Amino acid sequence: MGSMWPRNPQPVLNLGTTAFVEREETLKKTLLLHRRSSRVLAGAGQESLLRTTTMSSVAKPQDLPPSGGFSKIQYDKVPHKTFFNGYRIALLTAVSYSLGTWGYLRACERIRRTRLETQSARNAIQPFLLAERDRQLLTQMRKNRDAEAELMKDVPGWEVGTLYGTPVFNTVGENEWIGYNPDTYYAHADTLKRMENEYFSFFV
């Protein structure tokens, strides 16, 4: 047979013990807090109900049309205000063409004067360029003659300006000048240098 006593018996509190007194005070405090909470919740509910009743009883202003009604709705096409009309366009075109023609003629006159001045300068210095060209031609021909004499000095019977003593031109005097041959003039020059200088009008 089992025991009649429970395994975890609850302690029995005597009315005069300290634990019993503390437990009773705790219950009193809990009951007091519960009553206070109930009062606070009841007061908040009444205040909310009063506020709702007061706000709902006040009439709100409604949006109404202004006195005389709303303005008319504009749905027709409103044409833009144009500055240019037929007369103004014609006037502007005439002024533009006039100014353009005046500027064009003025530019043409300036170009004509510039070309005239350039051509006058060319005409003025052309004699000096021709004289310089002739002087350079004679100088180079003299250098070619000296180079020929130095090159053919060991060849017996060779005379400078002749073919073994035979003149190239029989009817030309000793001091008479004839046109030069480019092959003779550029005999000791580079081929590219010759091609570069042959086609220049004033210098050879």
Q: Are 144 and 204 in contact (CB under 8 A)?
A: no
> Looking at the predicted structure, is the pLDDT value of residue 63 above 90?
no
**Rounded mean pLDDT of 199-203?**
55
Q: In the predicted model, what is the mean pLDDT of residues 27-38?
A: 69
- Above 90 in pLDDT, residue 94? yes
Structure tokens at 147: 């180079």
Average pLDDT over residues 70-85: 81
Q: pTM to 2 decimals?
A: 0.41
Does position 192 have pLDDT exceeding 60, yes or no? Answer: yes
Q: Could you tell me how far CA 176 lies from the centroid of its own chain?
A: 70
Considering the chain, what percentage of its residues have pLDDT values greater than 90? 21
Write down the mean pLDDT value for the chain. 76
Cβ neighbours, 10 Å, residue 186: 19
Each residue's pLDDT tens digit, 99-152: 999 999 999 999 999 999 999 999 999 999 899 988 988 898 888 889 888 988
150 vs 202, residue with greater confidence: 150
Q: Which pLDDT does position 203 carry in this prediction?
A: 46
- Residue 4 — very low, low, confident or very high, per pLDDT cuts 50/70/90? very low
User: Ranked by mean pLDDT, which of 153-157, 177-181, 199-203 comes out on top?
Assistant: 153-157
What the block records as the tokens of 159 is 């005379």
Check: CB of residue 178 under 8 Å from CB of residue 169. yes
